[in-house]
Chains A and B, each alone.
Chain A
Amino acid sequence: MTDIALPEPRRRGTLARLARRPLAFAGLVVIVLTVLAAILAPWLAPYDPNTQHFDGLTLQGAPLPPGGGPDGAFPLGTDLLGRDLLSRILYGARTSLVIGVVANGMALVVGTLVGVTAGYFRGLLGAVLMRFTDLMMAFPALLLAIALAAILRPSLWIVALVIALVNWVQVARVLYTETTSLAERDFVQAERAIGAGHGRILGLHILPHLLPTIIVYGTLGISTTVLLEATLSFLGIGVQPPDPSWGNIIFESQTYFQAAPWLVFFPGLAILVLALAFNLVGDGLRDVLDPTQRERA
């Protein structure tokens, strides 16, 4: 029988397949390094991030450029208050990573729950959920953040919560649409015909197909989240000074951008590289997790 012959496939573990994609692997390395740097900040950082150094400013009171100070004591220079920029960026990685991962994670979880539930069950429940989503979408995010921060005491976790509340809406919208079309596909109908329960259909046959979208939103969200945290910090709602985050380092220094560009450049570079790393890994993961893409891996 000619329709029986099968090609011989190659199979590898997910991580091994990810490692075969140079860009995704580079992204993974960057993320691991950033996490390590954040954890090991007390040992890696040359100074305490909040200490104002007597020799960290010029005699005119201006910040030192990279490599400034006696014997190049401040490798990335100092900020407006004479604090070591490298130490602040290393400690700031903690805040930014926590916000990026926690806030984004919460947004993804809430958005997925709402979107998939509404898209799969439709009906009254779906209508109520999606109208609520529309309402949230219409509400100005910043206003919500300010209101929440005013009610609750500003802290890192409040920032994460606020960001999650703002970001889940888009995830829910997109996943709702995708779920409605998935639920009509033949293989989902076939599951229902076999007698599969809602849990099995959602978990085994719908969620895996949404994974690419979830990954894209998750990784794209990291960069916007870090920037949103910066905005909130700037408004005094977010991470409270003197604690550093990449966002508030930039905002503190933005008026001195022309006089001391390194103060914006280095934390900006850190955000860019981390966001890019997450995007690359997300892209790679999406391909690697799709069985139809496997032979080409």
Chain B
Amino acid sequence: MSRTASLRSGAVQGPDTPPDGSPGVAPVLSVEGLTVSVATAAGPRPLVQEVSFALRSGETLAIAGESGSGKSITSLAVMGLLPPNVAPTAGRVMLGGTDLLRLPERRMRAIRGDRVAMIFQEPMTSLNPVMTVGAQLVEAIRAHEPLSAREARGRALDALRAVRLSEPERRLSQYPHELSGGMRQRVMIAMALALRPDVLIADEPTTALDVTVQREVLDLLRDLKRDTGTALVLITHDMGVVAEMADRVLVMKDGRTVEEGPVATVFEAPAADYTRALLAAVPRMGARPPAPPRPVAGPPVLALRDLVVGFDTGRGLLGRPTHRVHAVEGVSLTIAPGETFALVGESGCGKSTIARAIAGLVPFSGEIEVAGRILRGQRDVTRAVRRDAQLVFQDPAAALDPRMRVGDLVAEPLAIHGIGSRAERRAKAEALFERVGLPRTALDRYPHEFSGGQRQRICIARALALDPRLIVADESVSALDVSVQARVLALLKELQDELGVSYLFISHDMAVVDSIADRVAVMYLGQIVETGTRAQVFGDPRHPYTRRLIEAVPVPDPRHVRPPRLREAREIPSPVRRRGDPPARMALRDMGEGHLVAEA
């Protein structure tokens, strides 16, 4: 088996390589007829049924599917990490010559991490926050191989170098919270690869990461796989990631295999209806034809003028703040009636803070004008203002009070603003429910009885209750499966055509923004670096950051060739600065027809 020099150096030879036959011929891992069931009061209920696949050395298999498709359960079954009450009921998981499903926990423990390793979605919760990165790596290595602490440390250092972390020696003595999300995920990958496993299972490894960081981690995974020959099982909901990474893809739905085949075949000629529908629902950059700009009628619904939001932090002498988070630093924009304006950027760029400032949830300075009312501070955000500007959150499950009936929740804004009698409010809630495509009978249910997409419809109905002029949608479709996401986006467009409402659409997902926005602003560290119409920003990106963002988006097309680049994980600049040291304001230059670009 080929392994990189970088992983090998300074390391003692591990246990004997498994008797898996000649590489490239016999599969490293083969799953045959795997069925996993959960024990319920009404008897076992299957979560995964009759799933089979084979994985050869050096191959990447993507298991793709929407939530509830059983893709994660499949990987947990392979790892022997199923939750209590859930157990495999049929099938075999063959690693080399052994059936992992038959192994006792004690022997499984020796295989886990050593021969089959796994990385999870959220690198922060997968690392122990009170142990240094080095200590955790050394512990993981020594749990499987009889190395001295010094040797294991050397191996850990090699592993960190292999995942191209900058300053690997310093990283060893750092704690997880001192690293960025992308660096943490690299540490997880280093931990998984330090023992040179035959199979690496990555469960949504980049879903929690920003798009540019995702790009780096995907590139890294691909390079490592090529260098080490480790077989990779990639579990993802993102068809773009599938297209870029996988050799073969297994599409799952409701616990069953819908389709399996080489990536190119599945993308170009999907055999199953479900795969076709899934691929059709995936938002693609540049898929929407350029639309003529909407005629601007009347004064702006929303205007931000030099908006600044900051928070003090840190504890100096006598508890005085030492630092300041410059979340939003002088943002100006206007939204016309019936227009969709999108704010894009990565986490921490201040886009959500703008939403919270408009909703009156954080103190701000500068000026916000909502439907003609000028607000100069948080105190000016009165009930009347809130009537005109409504907020829809990212996670509909968290944004609805779980102890209230959804009908009451939708009617609540009316009650707060003293509109109508109880019966009238109820009638309005019923009408809103029908408008967003939910049955009237659903009014008396509780939020947990609905699916994610249904809950977001409820949130939209609630936002519409007061007939607002502006809806601020903060990552409102990010938590939804693509097919549901497509339907919710369609609903938003319909509502706009019908009611003339404006949207401030906040998202990190460039493809989604490209499919819905009229105008776009790209934010970076609290400031707008580029703004203009969708065609201007996405069709002719001028600022280097905008370009980097657009290039980083995974393209759901296996034929797409990406120019190779070598990247190293750096520390990303932070909006937290010493007090009295504000960041430099970037001046925006007009490139013509309202296309504003920050001078780099």
Contact = CB atoms under 8 A, between A and B. Distances in A.
Q: Is the interface of A mostly helix, strand, loop or mixed?
A: helix
A193 B403 contact: no
Interface in B384-419: 386-387, 390-391, 393, 395, 398-404, 412-413, 416-417
B393 A292 contact: no
B140 interface: no
B359 interface: yes
A292 B446 contact: yes
Contact of B446 (A193, A195, A291): A291
Contact of B361 (A189, A209, A291): A189
B403 A208 contact: yes
Nearest to A209: B403
A71 interface: no
A20 interface: no
B453 A3 contact: yes
A152 interface: no
B438 interface: yes
A253 B416 CA distance: 60
Contacts of B484: 3
Contacts of A6: 439, 441-442, 445, 449-450, 454
A213 to B, nearest CB: 14
B560 interface: no
B192 to A, nearest CB: 33
Nearest to A193: B359
Contacts of A208: 401, 403-404
Interface in A170-220: 185-187, 189-197, 200, 204-205, 208-209
Contact of B387 (A4, A9, A195): A195
B360 interface: yes
A195 B400 contact: no
B437 A187 contact: no
A9 to B, nearest CB: 6
A61 interface: no
A1 interface: yes
A131 to B, nearest CB: 15
Contact of A194 (B356, B416, B448, B453): B416
A9 B444 CA distance: 10
A196 B391 CA distance: 13
Interface string A275-297: 00000000000000011101000
A4 B386 CA distance: 30
Give the size category of B's interface with A.
35 or more
Given A4-B438, A6-B449, A187-B399, A194 B390 contact: yes
A189 B399 CA distance: 8
Contacts of B390: 193-194
A292 B437 contact: no
B435 interface: no
Contacts of A209: 403
B278 to A, nearest CB: 12
Interface residues of A, number: 28
Nearest to B382: A195
The listed residue with most B CB atoms (<10 A of its CB), out of A3, A11, A189, A197, is A3
Given A186-B393, A187-B400, A195-B416, A292 B386 contact: no
The listed residue with most B CB atoms (<10 A of its CB), out of A7, A192, A290, is A192
Nearest to A197: B416
A44 B437 CA distance: 63
Contacts of A290: 403
Nearest to B387: A195
A233 B450 CA distance: 55
A1 B437 contact: yes
Contact of B386 (A3, A186, A193): A193
Given A9-B445, A292-B402, A3 B361 contact: no
A77 B9 CA distance: 86
B565 interface: no
Nearest to B456: A3
B398 A185 contact: yes
A291 B447 CA distance: 9
B567 interface: no
Nearest to B457: A3
Contact of A4 (B359, B398, B400, B454): B454
B579 interface: no
A112 to B, nearest CB: 17
A3 B401 CA distance: 21
Nearest to B452: A3
Interface in B72-116: none
Nearest to B466: A194
A192 B484 CA distance: 28
A73 to B, nearest CB: 53
Nearest to B453: A3
B360 A7 contact: no
B451 A190 contact: no
Interface in A3-32: 3-4, 6-7, 9, 11
A34 to B, nearest CB: 31
Given A6-B449, A186-B395, A187-B398, A195 B386 contact: yes
Contacts of A11: 444
Nearest to B442: A6
Nearest to B459: A190
B547 interface: no
B487 interface: yes
Nearest to A188: B401
A4 B393 contact: no
Top 8 A-B residue pairs of the complex, sorted by shortest distance between their CB atoms: A193-B359, A186-B398, A195-B386, A3-B453, A291-B446, A195-B383, A186-B399, A193-B391
20 contacts: A3-B451, A6-B450, A11-B444, A187-B401, A189-B399, A192-B359, A193-B390, A193-B391, A194-B386, A194-B412, A194-B416, A195-B383, A195-B386, A197-B416, A204-B401, A205-B401, A208-B401, A209-B403, A291-B403, A292-B402
